[in-house]
Amino acid sequence: VKLFSMINQLQPDLHPTSVSCDFELGAITAIKNSFVNINIFGCYFHLSQNFLKKVGELHLLSKYNNEANFCVATKTIIALAFIPLCDLDMAADELADELPDE
């Protein structure tokens, strides 16, 4: 919060319309509190890293590394980030029919 307050003090005419950041809730909250009507976009790299971390926590990393179909399915889930919000439910439902139970 302090960083964004300082930015606002140094550049009071700065009114960003969007920002890209990682998925740290504290940073997202600070940005929302510091800039009115800003759109926050999550970084695809960090989304991918967090998703693969979850794959590891579920003890599926070996399967991800050794089974091409599972790896592709995992990457397909991550690619949902590029689907327009209005089509996301339909895309997720269609994808769920194609994915393994893991």
Tell me the whole-structure pTM to 2 decimals. Answer: 0.67
Burial class (CB in 10 A: 0-12, 13-18, 19+), 32: middle
Model confidence at 102, pLDDT cuts 50, 70, 90, reads low
Model confidence at 32, pLDDT cuts 50, 70, 90, reads very high
pLDDT at 38: 94
pLDDT at 97: 84
For the residues of 10-50, what is the DSSP string, one character each?
H-TT---SEEEE-S-HHHHHHHHHHSTT-EEEE-HHHHHHH
In the predicted model, is pLDDT for residue 51 greater than 90?
yes
In the predicted model, is pLDDT for residue 1 greater than 90?
no
